[in-house]
Structure 1
Amino acid sequence: MTNSWRIIISLLYFCLISEVKSTKILVVSLPHYSVVAESNAIAVELVKRGHSVTFYLPSDFDNTKAVPDLPIIRYGTNMTAMFLSMAKKINDDVYADGANVYFTMRNMRIDFCNQINDVKALKKLKDEKFDYAIVNLLFFMKCIYLIPHNLNIPYASVSTAITELEIGHPAAPSFIPFILSHYGTEMSFFERVVNLFYHLGPTIMLNYLFPSYDVSKTMPKISYSEAEDLPKKSEIFLENSDFVLNFPKPTMPNFIQVGGLTTKAPKPLPTEIKKFFDDAPDGVIVMSFGSVFKPNKRTKELFISVFSKLKQRVFWKNDDAKIVNNIWMQPWLPQNDALAHPNTKLVIYHCGNNGMFESLYNAVPLLCLPHTADQLSNAKKLDHFHIGRSLSVALLTEEMILEAIQDLLTDSTYAGNITHLSRIFHSRPETPVERAVSWLEYVFKFGGGHLRSNQNKLSPFQLLMGDVWCFIFTVIVLGIYVAIYSIRKCLGFICKKKNKEKMN
Structure 2
Amino acid sequence: MSSFSVWLFLAIYSSVYWSQQVYAAKILAVTLPMYSHVAESNAVAVELMKRGHQVTFYFPDYFDSNKCAPNMRTIRYGHDTMSTAQSQIERITKLASGGKTSNLNLLQGTRKAFCTQLVNDTKALEKLRHEQFDFAIIDYLFFLKCYLLVPYNLSIPFAGISTSISQLDAGQPIATSVTPFFMTSYTPNMAFHERVINTIIHVTSHIVFDLIIESYDYSKIAPGLSWKNLQELSKQAEIYLENSDIVLSYPKPSMPNLIQVGGLTVKPPKPLPKNIQKFFDEAEHGVIIVSFGSTFKFNENLKNIFMSVFQKLNQRIFWKADEEKEIGNVLITKWLPQNDALAHPNTKLIIYHCGNNGMFESLYHGVPLICVPQAADQFMNSRKLDYLKIGRFFYHDDLSPVKLQECIHDVLGDPKYTANIKHLSEIYRSRPETGAERAASAIEHVIKYGGKHLNLNQVDLSTFQLLAVDVWFTIFLLLIVFIKILICIFVFCKRFVQSKTKVKQN
The answer to whether the Cα contact below 8 Å between 2:103 and 2:376 also exists between their aligned partners in 1 is no
User: Distance between the aligned counterparts of 2:291 and 2:146, measured in 1?
Assistant: 32
* 1:13-162 → structure 2 map (5 Å cutoff): 13-20=13-20, 21-76=23-78, 77-78=81-82, 79-93=85-99, 96=100, 98=101, 100-117=102-119, 118-162=121-165
Any idea what SS the aligned residue of 2:397 has?
coil
Structure 1 residue aligned with 2:448: 445
Q: Does 1:320 align with 2:323?
A: yes
Instruction: Give the TM-score normalised by the residue count of structure 1.
Output: 0.95
Any idea what SS the aligned residue of 1:164 has?
coil
User: Distance between the aligned counterparts of 1:442 and 1:337, measured in 2?
Assistant: 33
The answer to whether the Cα contact below 8 Å between 1:132 and 1:153 also exists between their aligned partners in 2 is yes
Tell me how far 1:87 sits from its aligned partner. Answer: 2.8
Any idea what SS the aligned residue of 1:212 has?
coil
Q: Which moved more, 1:475-484 or 1:204-213?
A: 204-213
User: Distance between the aligned counterparts of 1:281 and 1:10, measured in 2?
Assistant: 58
RMSD over aligned CA atoms reads 1.7
- Letter of the 1:105 partner, please give it: L
Deviations 1:127-157 (A, max 9, x none): 0000000111111111210100110111111
* 1:289-304 → structure 2 map (5 Å cutoff): 289-304=292-307
User: Distance between the aligned counterparts of 2:91 and 2:459, measured in 1?
Assistant: 35
User: Distance between the aligned counterparts of 1:389 and 1:478, measured in 2?
Assistant: 51
User: Distance between the aligned counterparts of 1:340 and 1:206, measured in 2?
Assistant: 40
Any idea what SS the aligned residue of 1:25 has?
strand
Any idea what SS the aligned residue of 1:165 has?
coil
Match of 1:192 among 187, 190, 195: 195
Instruction: Give the TM-score normalised by the residue count of structure 2.
Output: 0.95
- Letter of the 1:180 partner, please give it: M
The answer to whether the Cα contact below 8 Å between 2:243 and 2:261 also exists between their aligned partners in 1 is yes
Tell me how far 1:298 sits from its aligned partner. Answer: 1.5
Deviations 1:319-355 (A, max 9, x none): 0211111101011111111111111111111000000
Q: Which moved more, 1:413-422 or 1:196-205?
A: 196-205
Tell me how far 1:7 sits from its aligned partner. Answer: 4.7
Any idea what SS the aligned residue of 1:482 has?
helix
- Letter of the 1:372 partner, please give it: A
User: Distance between the aligned counterparts of 1:498 and 1:260, measured in 2?
Assistant: 79
Structure 2 residue aligned with 1:485: 488
User: Distance between the aligned counterparts of 1:85 and 1:33, measured in 2?
Assistant: 18
Q: Does 1:253 align with 2:259?
A: no
Relative to structure 1, the CA distance from residue 347 to residue 236 in structure 2 (aligned partners, 3 Å threshold; closer, same or farther) is same
Tell me how far 1:112 sits from its aligned partner. Answer: 2.2
Structure 1 residue aligned with 2:238: 235
* 1:220-231 → structure 2 map (5 Å cutoff): 220-231=223-234
- Letter of the 1:445 partner, please give it: K
Structure 1 residue aligned with 2:460: 457
Any idea what SS the aligned residue of 1:167 has?
coil
User: Distance between the aligned counterparts of 1:116 and 1:67, measured in 2?
Assistant: 22
The answer to whether the Cα contact below 8 Å between 1:369 and 1:390 also exists between their aligned partners in 2 is yes
Structure 1 residue aligned with 2:10: 10
Q: Which moved more, 1:44-53 or 1:161-170?
A: 161-170
The answer to whether the Cα contact below 8 Å between 1:212 and 1:224 also exists between their aligned partners in 2 is no
* 1:289-368 → structure 2 map (5 Å cutoff): 289-368=292-371
User: Distance between the aligned counterparts of 1:211 and 1:288, measured in 2?
Assistant: 32
Structure 2 residue aligned with 1:386: 389
The answer to whether the Cα contact below 8 Å between 2:56 and 2:75 also exists between their aligned partners in 1 is yes
Deviations 1:169-190 (A, max 9, x none): 1111101222221111111101
The answer to whether the Cα contact below 8 Å between 1:215 and 1:224 also exists between their aligned partners in 2 is no
Deviations 1:422-468 (A, max 9, x none): 11111111111111111111111111110012221222222111111
- Letter of the 1:15 partner, please give it: S
Tell me how far 1:497 sits from its aligned partner. Answer: 4.4
- Letter of the 2:168 partner, please give it: L
Any idea what SS the aligned residue of 1:229 has?
helix
Deviations 1:181-211 (A, max 9, x none): 1111111101111111332343132343224
Any idea what SS the aligned residue of 1:204 has?
helix
The answer to whether the Cα contact below 8 Å between 1:166 and 1:202 also exists between their aligned partners in 2 is no
The answer to whether the Cα contact below 8 Å between 1:317 and 1:331 also exists between their aligned partners in 2 is yes
User: Distance between the aligned counterparts of 2:388 and 2:191, measured in 1?
Assistant: 19
Structure 2 residue aligned with 1:267: 270
Structure 2 residue aligned with 1:427: 430
- Letter of the 1:86 partner, please give it: I
User: Distance between the aligned counterparts of 1:183 and 1:36, measured in 2?
Assistant: 28
Any idea what SS the aligned residue of 1:394 has?
helix
* 1:271-282 → structure 2 map (5 Å cutoff): 271-282=274-285
User: Distance between the aligned counterparts of 1:66 and 1:32, measured in 2?
Assistant: 9
Q: Which moved more, 1:65-74 or 1:148-157?
A: 65-74
User: Distance between the aligned counterparts of 2:378 and 2:448, measured in 1?
Assistant: 36
The answer to whether the Cα contact below 8 Å between 1:169 and 1:251 also exists between their aligned partners in 2 is yes
Any idea what SS the aligned residue of 1:483 has?
helix
User: Distance between the aligned counterparts of 2:481 and 2:342, measured in 1?
Assistant: 64
Any idea what SS the aligned residue of 1:347 has?
strand
User: Distance between the aligned counterparts of 1:403 and 1:103, measured in 2?
Assistant: 33
Q: Report how many residues are paired.
A: 499
Q: Which moved more, 1:83-92 or 1:475-484?
A: 83-92
Relative to structure 1, the CA distance from residue 212 to residue 453 in structure 2 (aligned partners, 3 Å threshold; closer, same or farther) is farther
Relative to structure 1, the CA distance from residue 163 to residue 84 in structure 2 (aligned partners, 3 Å threshold; closer, same or farther) is farther
Tell me how far 1:83 sits from its aligned partner. Answer: 3.2
Identity of aligned residues (%): 49
User: Distance between the aligned counterparts of 1:235 and 1:80, measured in 2?
Assistant: 32
The answer to whether the Cα contact below 8 Å between 2:98 and 2:298 also exists between their aligned partners in 1 is no
Deviations 1:223-274 (A, max 9, x none): 1110111111111111000011112211111111111000011111111111
Task: Extract unaligned runs of 5+ from structure 1.
Answer: none
Task: Extract unaligned runs of 5+ from structure 2.
Answer: none
User: Distance between the aligned counterparts of 1:80 and 1:419, measured in 2?
Assistant: 41
